[in-house]
């Protein structure tokens, strides 16, 4: 359904996406996982054909560089944060996008109904909460019933309850046969929704795997943020990857996802290579969030290893 071959996008001399290739089968869900600046958003914008890039991306055999308009008619897009005219009312916004997407009459009302925004048609966009805006973006994406839904960190601005709603919605979309591509740096979302995970780091595809391979244990998976006190984080990341850990750099430290029983392992691996972990922070409890069996607020703990 979607094929990407050696996609490269540079901003000046910096490669935001560097030779990424992948393909997606219809009805599957692909997660783009990585830290801020990993290239997830740039890859999504390339897929939509809204930025120029090198390489080739096809959607249903349609080259997005040459026939971007046609390719986009098969894609519903949900941005990280709905950017829309604040003064516009929901009804007029939906009507405009429905007309652009050649949606059938009544599709706008049906889409609002689907996402639980029926009855809010007279409200202005500026009066919506963050979660409602996200639902509006989803409603617009569902207009004209596109087979592919692309989401750029759809839950990053939402609270725990809002996140749960969106993830549940996406599960239902996937069950209905939609192909999903979503960017996330939340392992719980990737585990809940993704059939496959593309792990991106600094624009490069470092792993094309499944959530089960990335987080092999069925028991609780936690993300630790390691403070290496100025040591070479990239070298440390390579060492941890070599030891089979899921790692990403987020600009504020090195994050490694690990099962609860093996929290000490990455620290030992680094210690064996003479890299001192000065401090660490437990960011969240991935499995418990994904399963809904635990508290949805991120748990935070601190510790240190010397």
Partner 1 sequence: MTTLTIEAGAPRGAACLSPPGAIARIARREFRDAAASRWFLLYTIGFAVLAIGVSFMSLAGSGSHGLAGFGRTAAGMLNLVMLVVPLMALTAGAGAIAGERERGTLLYILAQPVSRTEVILGKYLGLGLALCCSVWLGFGLSAGVVAWRAGGADVDAFLLLVLFTCALALAMLSVGVLISVMSRRVGIATGLGLFVWIALVFLSDLGLMAGTLIFKLRVQEVFAIGVANPLQAFKMSVIVAMNASLDVLGPVGVYASRQFGGSLAWILSGVLGAWIVTPLAAAIVLFSRRAPA
Binding site for partner 1 (CB under 8 A): 45, 48, 50-52, 60, 68-70, 72-75, 77, 79, 81-85, 87, 96-97, 99-103, 113-116, 118, 131, 135, 144-147, 165-166, 168-169, 172-173, 175-178
Of residues 40 and 101, the one with the C-beta less far from partner 1? 101
* Distance (Å, whole) CA 33 – CA 44: 12
Cβ 183 to partner 1 shortest distance, Å:
14
**Phi, psi torsion values for 243, nearest 5 degrees:** -90, 5
Cβ 193 to partner 1 shortest distance, Å:
14
Cβ 292 to partner 1 shortest distance, Å:
15
CA distance readout (Å), 221 to 17, 79, 119, 257: 28, 28, 40, 6
Of residues 51 and 243, the one with the C-beta less far from partner 1? 51
Of residues 31 and 64, the one with the C-beta less far from partner 1? 64
Here the tokens at position 289 are 């969030």
Of residues 33 and 77, the one with the C-beta less far from partner 1? 77
Of residues 69 and 306, the one with the C-beta less far from partner 1? 69
Q: 10 Å Cβ neighbour count for 284? A: 21
Residue 152 DSSP SS3: strand
Cβ 134 to partner 1 shortest distance, Å:
9
Of residues 18 and 152, the one with the C-beta less far from partner 1? 152
Of residues 19 and 164, the one with the C-beta less far from partner 1? 164
Q: At what angle do helices 130-142 and 160-175 cross, to 10 degrees?
A: 10
Cβ 162 to partner 1 shortest distance, Å:
8
Cβ 7 to partner 1 shortest distance, Å:
16
Of residues 19 and 68, the one with the C-beta less far from partner 1? 68
Which segments of the chain does DSSP mark as H helices, in order? Answer: 40-48, 68-72, 90-100, 107-114, 130-142, 160-175, 187-193, 211-214, 233-242, 264-272, 286-291
β pairing state of 196-201 and 29-33: parallel
Cβ 192 to partner 1 shortest distance, Å:
16
**Phi, psi torsion values for 71, nearest 5 degrees:** -60, -40
* Nearest partner of 66 among 75, 57, 77, 74, judged by Cα: 57
Residues in the chain: 306
Cβ 73 to partner 1 shortest distance, Å:
4
* 34 CB-contact burial (10 Å; exposed 0-12 / middle 13-18 / buried 19+): buried
């Amino acid at each position: 359904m979607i094929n990407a071959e050696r996609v490269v996008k540079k901003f000046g001399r910096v490669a935001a996406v560097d030779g990424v290739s992948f393909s997606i089968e219809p009805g599957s869900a692909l997660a783009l996982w990585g830290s801020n600046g990993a290239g997830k958003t740039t890859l999504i914008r390339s897929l939509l054909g809204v930025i120029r890039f090198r390489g080739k991306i096809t959607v249903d055999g349609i080259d997005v560089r040459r026939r971007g308009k046609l390719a986009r008619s098969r894609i519903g897009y949900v941005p990280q944060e709905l950017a829309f005219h604040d003064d516009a009312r929901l009804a007029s916004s939906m009507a405009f996008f429905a007309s652009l997407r050649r949606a059938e009459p009544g599709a706008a009302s049906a889409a609002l109904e689907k996402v639980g925004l029926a009855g809010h048609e007279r409200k202005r966009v500026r009066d919506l909460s963050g979660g409602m805006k996200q639902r509006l973006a989803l409603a617009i994406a569902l207009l004209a019933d596109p087979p592919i839904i692309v989401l750029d960190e759809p839950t990053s601005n939402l609270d725990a309850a809002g996140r749960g709603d969106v993830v549940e919605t996406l599960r239902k979309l996937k069950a209905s046969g939609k192909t999903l591509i979503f960017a996330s740096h939340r392992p719980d979302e990737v585990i809940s929704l993704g059939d496959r995970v593309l792990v991106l780091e600094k624009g490069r595809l470092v792993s094309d795997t499944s959530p089960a391979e990335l987080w092999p244990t069925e028991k609780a998976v936690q993300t630790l943020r390691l403070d290496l006190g100025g040591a070479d984080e990239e070298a440390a990341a390579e060492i941890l990857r070599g030891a089979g850990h899921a790692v990403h750099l987020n600009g504020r430290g090195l994050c490694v996802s690990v099962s609860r029983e093996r929290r000490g392992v990455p620290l030992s691996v680094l210690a064996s290579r003479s890299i001192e972990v000065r401090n660490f922070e437990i960011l969240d409890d991935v499995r418990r969030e994904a399963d809904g069996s635990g508290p949805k607020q991120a748990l935070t703990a601190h510790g240190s290893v010397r």
